[in-house]
Amino acid sequence: MSELSVDHLLGIKYLNKADIELIFDTADHFKEVINRPIKKVPSLRDITIANLFFENSTRTKLSFELAEKRLSADVLNFSSAQSSVKKGETLIDTVNNILSMKVDMVVMRHPNPGAGVFLSKHVKASIINAGDGAHEHPTQALLDSYSIRERLGSVRGKKVVIVGDILHSRVALSNIFALQLQGAEVMVCGPKTLIPKYIDQLGVNVETNLKTALNWCDVANMLRVQNERMEVSYFPTTREYTQQFGVNKALLDALDKDIVIMHPGPINRGVEITSDVADSNHSIILDQVQNGVAIRMAVIYLLAAKIKQ
């Protein structure tokens, strides 16, 4: 297979295993490109991409912009805070105005789950979901699996625990779909209040004891507690959360094996992860960020190939 089965990247749940393999093979090529002295290829000189961020971002926004520039695309950056959205313009009007400037592809982060799907039904452009509320963050899950493959040789057969605020996490849902498609076994671990009731239907193991989870896994993906999505308290205090669900060096030293530690960022040092773990050889956190550029180049390149058909 040399093309994606989809015209948009709206979520991992719309992809199949061959799509993920194609994205990874293409990312392998672009990873080699971005390590050359001249880190740019002319592939997308005829493509214009708008990055629409209706919610804060550091890694995803910069990573998409860099990926687009490395592919020689023309890039427009839009942030809702400085836009006419504040004057009451609708999402479709905003995007259609941008598209009338001959834009081919839209990368969008939005606080509302399903915003990307909605947009893909109303505008003529290829849409990439850069995170929609607590729903999906597909490029994050792709770069996470790619980084596991890079460190451990493959994703198939690996045991991955996702720790923390599963309830409010788009990273958790996209990772569960991506890891299962590739044959990994997935566990979620956190306070019962932060594990969604529907989780059993996703075929994952559930654990509320972090030590048990760390003993079980090959990889622990530590999530941030998403206070900005919480209207009520889900645990007594941050200190107690850290005591029960924070990873620290003593916990890792007590294991009879080495495990890989991941985090999508931004990190709350001293809450879900201590600095001596985040900055240790166990951690592949900065590899994840670096791989994000190659993965996003691959996704953009493969979707652009479908626009050109």
Judged by the rule CB under 6 A, the positions of this chain that interact with ligand CP are 57-60, 131, 140, 264-266
Find the shortest distance in angstroms from Cβ 131 to ligand CP.
6
Cβ proximity of 188 and 207 under 8 Å: yes
CB of 171 to ligand CP, least distance (A): 7
Burial of 122 per CB tally in 10 Å (0-12, 13-18, 19+): exposed
For the bound state, the minimum distance from the C-beta of residue 65 to ligand CP, rounded and expressed in Å, comes to 11
Of 58 and 280, the one with the shorter C-beta distance to ligand CP is 58
Question: Closest separation between CB of residue 221 and ligand CP, Å?
Answer: 11
Residue whose Cβ sits closest to ligand CP:
60
In the bound complex, what is the minimum distance in angstroms from residue 133's beta carbon to ligand CP?
13
Q: Which residues touch 227 (CB under 8 Å, ≥6 apart)?
A: none
Q: How far is the CB of 148 from ligand CP (least distance, A)?
A: 16
Of 8 and 263, the one with the shorter C-beta distance to ligand CP is 263
- Residue with smaller CB distance to ligand CP, 57 or 96: 57
Measured from the CB atom, the residue of 43 and 264 that comes closer to ligand CP is: 264
Nearer to ligand CP, 66 or 251 (CB): 66
Closer by beta carbon to ligand CP, 43 or else 175: 175
